[in-house]
Amino acid sequence: MPDWLTGKPFAVTFAVLFLIVLARAQATYWIARGVSTGAMHTRLSKRLSGPKVSRAINEVNRWGPPVVAVSFLTVGFQTVANVAAGLTRMPWLRYTVAMLIGCVAWALIYATIGIAALEAGMALAAHSPWALVAVVIVVIAIAVTIIAIVSRRRKRQVVGNPTGGR
């Protein structure tokens, strides 16, 4: 955590982190939207406005808001989701509502356990970088195991029920 946030009340920390992620997400969206608009004035415009592309854009705009909101719970995919929303020119209000939900979740996580985990990681790295590498490997192994178990259970449900549990 930046030194100027250390010791501040939770509400201040949350608000600062919320404003940071809000500004970053909106900037990413608008830069990508500008790139999309600029591309429409090039030789690519015919390819970017065809029926297949239009259909894909409509699907992203339809299903994209939940993806945008959930992307704030990930590392790395958040930027991709914001760029995709801008490139496909997702309507600003639809994007912003989803983005605000994601920003609240992100700021809440980072104002609580996120910063604690970061500080613990930094302390561990200062003590033993190899211990930090080992912890990261264990966390990744646990995540992969959980994903594999959930995936197998879903496949069993689909195989046992052709409607997929519906």
pLDDT tens-digit map of 135-152:
889 988 998 898 889 888
pLDDT band at 58 (very low <50, low <70, confident <90, very high): confident
For residues 90 and 58, is the Cβ–Cβ distance under 8 A?
no
Q: Which long-range contacts (CB under 8 A, 24 or more apart) does 95-98 make?
A: 95/29, 95/64, 95/65, 95/68, 96/26, 97/65, 98/64, 98/65, 98/66, 98/68, 98/69
Reported pTM: 0.66
Task: Give the pLDDT confidence score for residue 92 in this predicted structure.
Answer: 93
Q: What are phi and psi of 163, to 5 degrees?
A: -85, 0
* Res 30: pLDDT: 96
Side chain identity, residue 156: R
pLDDT of residue 4: 62
Of 1-10, 13-22, 55-64, 95-104, which gets the smallest average pLDDT? Answer: 1-10
Give the model's pLDDT for residue 44. Answer: 73
